[in-house]
Structure 1
Amino acid sequence: MKKLASAIVLCLFLTSALLWVQLPKWRGAQNPEAVLNQLVQDALSAMTLDQKIAALFMVRPEELGDLTAPGDHLEENYSSYPVSGVIFFAKNLIDAEQTKEYIADMQLLSGIPLLIATDQEGGRISRFSPETFDVPVLPSMYEIGQSGRPERAYEAMKATGESLKALGFNVDFAPVADIWSNPLNTVIGDRAFASTADGVAPFVRQAVRGLEDASIASCVKHFPGHGETEADTHTGTAVSNVDARTLRERELGPFAAGIEEGCPMVMVAHIKLPNVTGDDLPASLSPAIVQGILRDEMGFEGVVITDSLQMGAVTEFFSPEEAPVMALKAGCDILLMPEDLPRAFNGIKAAVEAGQITESRIDESVLRILKLRLKYGVAAEQ
């Protein structure tokens, strides 16, 4: 088993080594987008179906190594499931030195840079202890929004992005583009910039710009708008009763602002919108929301990521095999924190073998993910 794992790692390394040689070329090319697209296509062509499926996932560090360090099985676990990214939480982050070393060890697993992510919104959503990290301590986004100065969002997110970059991160799951339209909503609450679309949109735009200027991939969330709900999707079902007209005239505006600013990622929530979709599917698993509205209507061509698939709004109703397959069918690309990685992987592979999902559909997502990894990957710049 160990010999097989080592062989897979070597294969992955040799495949990606070709990209390493060519990475500087696309960054300095006359037409960098065309060169990047060709590099990504070449990488995809060298991947097996198993590698493509694994590349759809983003997991916690402890899925590969130990809680705060690589441990003894990091390489073997990655060879079995060469995922595209890792999301760090407070429990994984002791201090700057430990964080840098753990991330650096993870980046050595693949010549194609991994997406190293966290949720650093500011306010009550902060993963870094101010006692051991030099990461800006920010007020809530609502407080920043109340200032009436969108440039404050730029300054806050640029400073945050620079601190994250120094630690080895390349993705921040921020900013929140939800509207705090329901005062009873404490799940979002002061994580939102304002209680109106016009109040939120300019701050989202500036936050995206700030992270981009720090070379960090931003991710607007929680599409198509979590602000009208009351329940918490971490623990169970949350319903937004907005109709299609209200959704388009109010909820989508801040997301459109982020997309227009060039935000490369959108996170889709697990909320239900029965008055929009006509069913009770979570948005993350709904073709009407992801493909119909986000892709087709809004024209988003970047990476769509689910909210955590370990959340109660998903796990109460769908098996570890079902949820990832449904998310892919809906139009999502990255499957965040599957409830059970081996079962999720096997569920997708079985769906491909049964003809429920085509390999070309997998390719669409992997191409977008690879492009994001190469564009924002820390390793690619070293």
Structure 2
Amino acid sequence: MPRIRHGLGMIAALLVTGCGPGIGASPAPSPRASAPVSAKPSATPSAAPASATPSARPSGSLAERTLAEMSLRDKVAQLFTIVVWGQKAGAASKENEARYGVATPAQVVEKFRPGGVILFDWAGNVSGASQVAALTTGLREAAAKAGNAPLMIGVDQENGLVSRLKSVVTTFPGASDIGKTRKPANARDVARATGEELRDLGISLDFAPVADVNINPRNPVIGPRAYGADPGKVAAMVGAAVDGFHAAGVASVAKHFPGHGDTSVDSHTGLPVITHSKSQWRKLDAPPFREAIAHGVDAIMSAHLVMPKLDPSGDPATLSPRILTGLLRDELGFDGVISTDALDMAGVRKKYGDAEVAVRAVLAGADILLMPPNLPKAYDAVLAAVKSGRISERRIDQSVLRILRLKEKRGLFGPIRTDPGAVRSAAHLKIAKRVFAAVK
């Protein structure tokens, strides 16, 4: 089937433009709240730590030009990746009404101008390949109509236990099975084929691979989602998977930093505590993230867990400047996008309210605020923090520029292309069969 092209025209290019299995249970509706008010001019940027600054790029890139045209309100909106309910961009949903005050997924995107949308089967986003491609196209067209930066659409498609598109795409082995083959080439091939199918559905970012080293056999949240219990083997698999996603032209997200492998508590329902010393962390948890960074991973997702010997404050890693900025940015040298894990999870909501969580995540070093339980409240809190000077506008600019550079790198400023007929191809089925047969 020929690749379908949906031209957004020159205007779209010039206008301002994951998560664990526990998220699979649809959360209760939030009270209706008003949307952000209309955009106002940005304030003068203030200073921010040099460690948080993206590496210098030639001025005048598409991402930089887009940022220069954005209001403060649209910059703050770019930080959020949200859930919308329904199979069609133009179909009404009571869940959207309850949470966002508008009925259709397209109206949500037009009203709130988020940087991204994440698709879920439990949100009614997935019933067939053509349906998903039409939904992603409609959402991106709505973003262009609203004068946003291009919309980035993501999904948790790890394969295996966490497979949000399992009714639509080729069934591939999960990470633990791939790890048993002892061949990183299998991780690369599965990631490439997965990425190609996501791209054909209009999805540009996969919240995968899992980079956790599952050294605790009682781990209730990672387990078979990890490539194994050996840091070296997991690192090789993660690096290969990143290469595979990039070969497909899809962004990859290594998760869950600083490492969720040695826990017996699920961060969807509680706050895990891992007592690794810094030297243990460097030996056991860090190698797969180092390898992902070496392979140019687009984004890294934080974990909602406490490592008191890395940060004695008691705050989860998602809210920890010592971990996200001190370790991930400064020690490991990561200059890509940092995404929180879902902000509706119990592990990050134990200590602070939902508004304060969003602010503290930005202060810690996060760029993408994923799935806040109350979008208007979180948006208003971040905006107020910038206006009060608690967060500098320069700090917001750094995050937005990282996000826009990722979108530019993955072709989101160009025309929309989908090819749902290419999903479950004979070549991909052959890869799946070969890797399943190699599992020992």
Q: Same fold (TM over 0.5)?
A: yes
User: Which one-letter code corresponds to 1:123 in the other structure?
Assistant: G
Residues in 2 aligned to 1:36 and 1:15: alpha-carbon distance in whole angstroms: 21
Q: 2:238: which partner in 1? A: 204
Structure 1 pair 294–34 and aligned structure 2 pair: CA distance change class (3 A): closer
Q: 1:119: which partner in 2? A: 156
Q: 1:53: which partner in 2? A: 76
The structure 2 residue matched to 1:97, chosen from 105, 109, 130, is 130
The aligned runs of 1:228-239 (5 Å cut-off) are 228-239=262-273
Q: What's the TM-score once normalised by structure 1's chain length?
A: 0.88
Q: 1:285: which partner in 2? A: 319
Residue 129 of structure 1, CA deviation: 3.4
Structure 1 pair 142–356 and aligned structure 2 pair: CA distance change class (3 A): same
Q: 2:371: which partner in 1? A: 337
Residues in 1 aligned to 2:342 and 2:295: alpha-carbon distance in whole angstroms: 25
Q: Deviations over 1:106-135 (max 9, x none)?
A: 1112343211101111111111234xx2x2
Is the contact made by 1:16 and 1:43 (CA closer than 8 Å) also made in structure 2? no
SS at match of 1:220: strand
Larger mean CA deviation between 111-120 and 286-295 belongs to 111-120
Matched, 1:44 2:67: yes
CA RMSD of aligned residues (A): 2.0
Is the contact made by 2:89 and 2:104 (CA closer than 8 Å) also made in structure 1? no
The structure 2 residue matched to 1:18, chosen from 14, 22, 45, is 14
| Gaps in structure 2 of 5+ consecutive residues | 1-8, 17-55, 92-102, 417-440
Larger mean CA deviation between 329-338 and 66-75 belongs to 66-75
Is the contact made by 1:113 and 1:377 (CA closer than 8 Å) also made in structure 2? no
Residue 240 of structure 1, CA deviation: 1.1
Residues in 2 aligned to 1:312 and 1:258: alpha-carbon distance in whole angstroms: 27
Residues in 1 aligned to 2:58 and 2:313: alpha-carbon distance in whole angstroms: 43
Aligned length: 352
User: Which one-letter code corresponds to 2:220 in the other structure?
Assistant: T
Residues in 2 aligned to 1:317 and 1:336: alpha-carbon distance in whole angstroms: 18
Residue 17 of structure 1, CA deviation: 4.0
Matched, 1:77 2:100: no
Residues in 1 aligned to 2:206 and 2:361: alpha-carbon distance in whole angstroms: 21
Q: 2:201: which partner in 1? A: 167
Structure 1 pair 50–378 and aligned structure 2 pair: CA distance change class (3 A): closer
Residues in 2 aligned to 1:210 and 1:193: alpha-carbon distance in whole angstroms: 15
Matched, 1:128 2:165: yes
Q: 1:29: which partner in 2? A: none
User: Which one-letter code corresponds to 1:89 in the other structure?
Assistant: F
Larger mean CA deviation between 92-101 and 301-310 belongs to 92-101
Matched, 1:273 2:304: no
SS at match of 2:255: strand
> % of aligned pairs identical?
39
Q: Deviations over 1:227-256 (max 9, x none)?
A: 011101111111111111111122100000
SS at match of 2:322: helix
Q: 2:22: which partner in 1? A: none
Residue 186 of structure 1, CA deviation: 2.5
Q: Deviations over 1:5-64 (max 9, x none)?
A: xxxxxxxx99744269xxxxxxxxxxxx956862211111111111001010000123xx
User: Which one-letter code corresponds to 2:119 in the other structure?
Assistant: F
Q: 1:4: which partner in 2? A: none
User: Which one-letter code corresponds to 1:70 in the other structure?
Assistant: G
Q: 2:223: which partner in 1? A: 189
Q: 2:29: which partner in 1? A: none
Is the contact made by 1:68 and 1:94 (CA closer than 8 Å) also made in structure 2? no
Residues in 2 aligned to 1:153 and 1:350: alpha-carbon distance in whole angstroms: 44
Residue 76 of structure 1, CA deviation: 4.0
Residues in 2 aligned to 1:37 and 1:309: alpha-carbon distance in whole angstroms: 34
User: Which one-letter code corresponds to 1:151 in the other structure?
Assistant: A
Residues in 2 aligned to 1:373 and 1:322: alpha-carbon distance in whole angstroms: 28
SS at match of 2:203: coil
Q: 2:407: which partner in 1? A: 373
Residue 379 of structure 1, CA deviation: 5.9
Residue 208 of structure 1, CA deviation: 0.4
Is the contact made by 2:84 and 2:105 (CA closer than 8 Å) also made in structure 1? no
Is the contact made by 1:19 and 1:39 (CA closer than 8 Å) also made in structure 2? no
Residues in 1 aligned to 2:162 and 2:108: alpha-carbon distance in whole angstroms: 30
Q: 1:244: which partner in 2? A: 278
Is the contact made by 1:61 and 1:67 (CA closer than 8 Å) also made in structure 2? no
The structure 1 residue matched to 2:295, chosen from 261, 279, 296, is 261
SS at match of 1:61: coil
SS at match of 1:164: helix
Q: Deviations over 1:279-324 (max 9, x none)?
A: 2100010000000000011110000000000001122322121011
Structure with higher RCO (Cα < 8 A, 6+ apart): 2
| Gaps in structure 1 of 5+ consecutive residues | 1-12, 21-32
Is the contact made by 2:303 and 2:340 (CA closer than 8 Å) also made in structure 1? yes
Residues in 2 aligned to 1:82 and 1:218: alpha-carbon distance in whole angstroms: 23
User: Which one-letter code corresponds to 1:278 in the other structure?
Assistant: P
Is the contact made by 1:107 and 1:379 (CA closer than 8 Å) also made in structure 2? no
Residue 90 of structure 1, CA deviation: 1.5
Residues in 1 aligned to 2:403 and 2:277: alpha-carbon distance in whole angstroms: 32
Is the contact made by 2:63 and 2:404 (CA closer than 8 Å) also made in structure 1? yes
Greater share of helix: 1
Residues in 1 aligned to 2:354 and 2:281: alpha-carbon distance in whole angstroms: 30
Residue 80 of structure 1, CA deviation: 3.0
Structure 1 pair 154–75 and aligned structure 2 pair: CA distance change class (3 A): closer
Is the contact made by 2:87 and 2:127 (CA closer than 8 Å) also made in structure 1? no
Q: 2:142: which partner in 1? A: 109
Q: 1:348: which partner in 2? A: 382
